[in-house]
Structure 1
């Protein structure tokens, strides 16, 4: 198709029409992306599966499955639907253990919805272990203590620089849960002192993946983190360098926004989390429930 330009006046008219068409198309694309991010992707759960190979894994632990979910942000209404759907999916998956990565309450205060959803999870009888995130320290000074009492009432164990021994057919493995690195005081060396000498923890729970750089070398077989929401808003294809985490260079900036990393001999997995915060939107970062299965190295 050819456009014939008669004079400068015609050229201006054509340019204006093209500019208006481009602006209209851009506006429509933006509105469509916003609608998709709010109404669809925010609720579009992805269940990811991961095979974790461990040297000298005892036979009793081969095939052991644990679920990892973090950043629920309950109390922030747009988080309810994805969190509720995730709890239903993890119950249906029947893992041997459920691990929680913190940021349970968006503003640190226990809500009736927490009783509803965590009560449903606890009723399964599946062991549940978690850690604190930075949002769990928001609110009043005594809220973390009160929230800990709520979790204990439901039979959910929250580890704060603690180690937990879990046995399969009498064979023990150790899990460590560290305090949040922004609002709390993580103590990886102190937590590891609770293990028998020479024993390496199977899994370490760590809310903020940035703290991986401060873990001792070869500290744990696997380190699980959350906090980042996978960026939450990722303008593809620039998501590696431009997302809501990177709009500021403060404590939310992360070199490990989503997926697997190997840092100082520690295998780190950063989950994308389930809920949302700040904005009721997800784009290029679907909510995630991660399921891990232990297998021996070939």
Structure 2
């Protein structure tokens, strides 16, 4: 099937993969906590591996195995803690695991050892950190609920759609041309407006969060989602690559598709936990 998709135009690829992706996401998030868990565990591992492959473009050699193990254990531990199957103290074990990365580098005999260590841990923090925090949204009320997670995804899609439509039709003033020439302030304003409207609609049907919380989440996504996109664009520019990967035909890689989510989730969790 992937060979057939690769023969289609970029637009056709984007539409087909987009529809399939949305179907899988909504189904996995809503069906059960375990299908949600497996979906995002897979994304976590693929995202970390993709990040490490990007680093190799510059001759950096992260410890892939160690990073994948630490990232997976963090993701799994947070999920089981939120399910009250593990004690919170288990997270303290992640800290010595991170320091084991330093020790392992002694025996790898690779050039730039401390650069390798830094980017090994950065891959865990950048990908596994936000995906792990996503569990806190799913268990805001003590039991798993798909509403906050799906709501965040819908708001990100709304912000992206609004930014694309308004940017294409009214965009004149560049948001940060040095990093992403296509993004404009008009597009950002349109994305923000659509996200806020969708946030209001979500509050009518998704009752896990109050209206002010949905609006707050929409604003945070509008702000930090686009910043996440810019950060990932900066990463790709610094490495001289167009896409972070080729896993999703017409859409690039995992980091290309989830850059907004990765940057926005920590701020969303902090907002909902405090307010």
Higher relative contact order (CA 8 A, sep 6+): 1
- Tell me which structure has the larger Cα radius of gyration: 1
- Between structures 1 and 2, the one with greater strand share: 1
The TM-score bracket by the shorter chain reads under 0.3
Normalising by structure 1, report the TM-score.
0.25
- Between structures 1 and 2, the one with greater helix share: 2
